[in-house]
Amino acid sequence: MKKISFLVAGLFLSHFAMSQVNGHSDVVNITIPKKAAKLTKEKLVTYTNSNYKRSQVPIDKENIYQIDGLIVSFWDVPASESNKRDLPVIQSEILGILKRNNENVINYSKIITVNNIQFLVFEYQKGDEVFLRFISELKNHKNLNGIIQFKKPDEDKAQEALKDLLGGMHFKNE
């Protein structure tokens, strides 16, 4: 009887652990940081309404998580043949758009490489609310976009979450 109970408990825990750590993407295989809790649309709306003046996290995406008070989301974006741009071009366009709004303070914008994937990473803020965005290079006519939303005092936690998230990504084989 003890063996059966142990087996059932082990199967339950392994199923729970698997459902918590793997995000969905057609572009990358990804392991979500262990501290992440998946959010439903309802929980996202409730949390953002209680903690932020505004949110830039899209509520219609599957991969939305909370990590130590941060909101983290990512999603695939298809690119048509006529809309294939490299990261420096996207960087220039995004910075131009952000500079149009005087409320935006651009903290930085850079292109980095993690696990042989290039990412455009940029951070901007409005007041004490900060938005850390990332966009991967194209792979199979798609790229991965994401955002981490947080309050300015949580900057270190957000940078660590970004490092963990991008470090858990690998392009899928063609």
pLDDT for 12 equals: 37
pTM equals 0.84
Spatial CA neighbour of 115 closest among 158, 160, 164, 70 = 164
Which structure tokens are listed for 137? 């290079």
Give the separation between CA 144 and CA 25, rounded to whole angstroms: 8
pLDDT for 22 equals: 67
Pick the CATH number of 2-171 from 3.20.20.70, 3.40.1000.10, 3.90.920.10, 1.10.10.10: 3.40.1000.10
Contact 56, 149 (CB under 8 A): yes
Type of residue numbered 37: A
Which structure tokens are listed for 151? 């309050």
Contact 161, 70 (CB under 8 A): yes
pLDDT (tens digit per residue) in 94-113: 999 999 999 999 999 999 99
Spatial CA neighbour of 162 closest among 136, 128, 126 = 136
Handedness of CA 19, 51, 162, 134 (dihedral sign): positive
Give the residue extent of every domain in the chain. Answer: 2-171
